[in-house]
Amino acid sequence: METFTPTTDPLAGSVALSAIVSLLPLLTFFVLLAVVKTKSHVAGLVSLLVALLVAILVFQMPAGLALMSGGLGAVFGAFPVVWIVVMAVWLYQVTVISGRFEDLRRVFDVIGRGDVRLQSILIAFCFGGLLEALAGFGAPVAITATMLLALGMAPLRAAAAVLVANTAPVAFGAVAIPITTAAGLTGLDADHIGAVVGRQAPLLAFVVPLILLLILDGKRGLKDCWPAALVIGFSFGLAQFLCSNYFSYELTDVVAALVAMGAAVAFLRVWEPRGRTAARERICAEVPVGASRVPVAGSGVPVAGHAVQGSGSDVHGGGSDVQGGGSGVPGTDSAAERLTPVRTWLALFPYFLVIVVFGVAKLWTFGVDIPAWLASTDIAMPWPLLYGNIVDAAGDPVSSTIYKFTWLSNPGTLLLIAGLLVAVVYSRFDGAGRYPLRVGTALAEIPRTIHRMRWAALTILTVLALAYVMNLSGQTVSIGTWLAGTGAFFAFLSPILGWIGTAVTGSDTSANALFAKLQQTAGLKAGIDPNLLVAANTSGGVVGKLISPQNLAIAATAVRLDGQESLILRKVVGWSVGMLLVLCIVVYLQSTPVLGWMLP
């Protein structure tokens, strides 16, 4: 097969014309999703076909190489990307079928000291961060919205709160798969990208709890509870920064959520919120239909059950749906009385164990260098027909045509190990004797999780295949070269690409798959650190998530406002645009000496 060298100006020798034609696959994807409203996997498949046609007809890429490029992208999408997502959701499901999910919900209820505003922040922001870290893909919004509805929150207010709360954690969601994907596509160091994101996303984390107070209870809520909101936001953001820069970027949200929760526990021991009773009367709606009478922190507020979207519907083996709320337990005793120390520890155990497993895999060098040993198990595979046939201008093989099979060292396998350990512990120590879990039951949940996520997985495969075809044919480089004509100002525009990508696709991972290589190319051409721009794409996607049609639909369904997505959008779009503007300014200043000192 003849060799192929990508160029930036195959159409009439013009970079601009070539770039405009190269935008066709992306425009096709966005139009099909946002205007035609097709299924995301259908949009991905059609856009992939367009990308193949542009590669073959315009960029003169041999058809065989174009098809094999798509195949390599799909394989990368399957492993490690889909593998990581499936294992993250499976670990979460283990906590559900064991009954520990309900206990974890009660932990947040008790910490909030009966103040519905603080309970809502802990659930939507801290617990939502944990869910984003391990599940992502809509599950945090669905689950936490149901839980806020169960507190008695008005549906519109609950939906707006959980969407805004699901911002700061998104960059590191699903074990930081957006960053891992960006690194895999660009060849940049994932740890370095994660460190840069860890110097952008915390700026949002600092203020999101304060925004939540405004959404939940207006200026009065801000006046009554701002000290607790500052503590939660500051501790979450600080933990994000420290973990992403000095520990493990994959674990950032897990650590940040647990640290913020711990900080809330400590602070609320010495500080008490004002106006709790009046706040509940102001902001709580009538008990939603179908709510089961489970008190929240002794307040008598019922908890509603609702099947979770994004991570599947029924979960067998535990006798209940995947729920963010009630279990139908009679409300004769308080949550504090039911929540024993053993059950509290078992509810938190999976998240601490994940930190330990990842910590050993990433940092343990005493006696045996575990990170080096795990890396030695990786298998580098030059992709058939691609390696050696796609070359750069110097005639050297393009490095991205080598597929690295990280069968043991990747986060998905580490999550599998952690999940198995959790299942063993839950099968032997069930705390109250009410939630027995067999290891076999936990393992049987894996194929169910795969089945439930089949369409999401197909979307990931098609988007990664699309990205690889565009990258290896030269389409992405052409677009990046064209956009680099804006010079240093591109740093300001950089987060907007991630915002658009996530707003349309509903996934920061997909936004990075589409634009990470483009950001890298534009940065190199414009003389801007490509790590900064790839990180900016990730951070920009964070504030695009809350206005994505998929997330809006999930939130609307969870709070029983089906068909009223536009109403929710009007409630949150201002916050999305405002936070995006702040990010654009920060990223631009980080590309200059003014804030350049912030970068690693």
Token code pair at residue 426: 């839950």
Omega before 288 within 30 of 0, i.e. cis: no
Distances (CA, A) of 376 to 9, 359, 360, 372, 415: 40, 18, 16, 6, 19
**Span 439-478, pLDDT tens digits:** 999 999 999 989 988 887 888 888 889 888 988 999 988 8
**Span 345-359, pLDDT tens digits:** 888 898 888 888 888
Compute the Cα dihedral for 593, 519, 552, 173 and give only its sign: negative
pLDDT by residue for the chain (600 residues), tens digit each?
Answer: 679 999 999 999 999 999 999 999 988 988 887 788 888 788 889 999 999 999 999 999 999 999 999 999 999 889 887 888 788 788 888 988 888 877 877 777 777 777 889 989 998 999 888 888 876 666 688 778 877 876 778 889 999 999 999 888 888 887 788 999 899 889 899 999 999 999 999 999 999 999 999 999 899 989 999 999 999 999 999 999 999 999 889 889 989 999 998 999 899 889 988 888 888 888 875 443 333 333 333 333 223 333 333 333 332 333 333 333 333 333 334 544 567 888 888 888 988 888 888 888 877 888 899 989 998 999 999 999 999 999 988 888 988 899 989 999 888 898 899 999 999 999 887 654 455 688 999 999 999 989 988 887 888 888 889 888 988 999 988 888 898 888 889 999 999 988 888 886 778 888 888 889 889 988 998 899 999 999 999 999 889 888 876 677 778 877 878 767 788 888 988 999 999 999 999 999 999 999 999 999
Token code pair at residue 311: 């991570």
Token code pair at residue 255: 């650590």
Q: Could you give the CA distance from residue 141 to residue 166 in angstroms, rounded to a whole number? A: 7
Q: Specify whether the CB–CB gap between 243 and 255 falls below 8 A.
A: yes
Q: Specify whether the CB–CB gap between 362 and 247 falls below 8 A.
A: yes
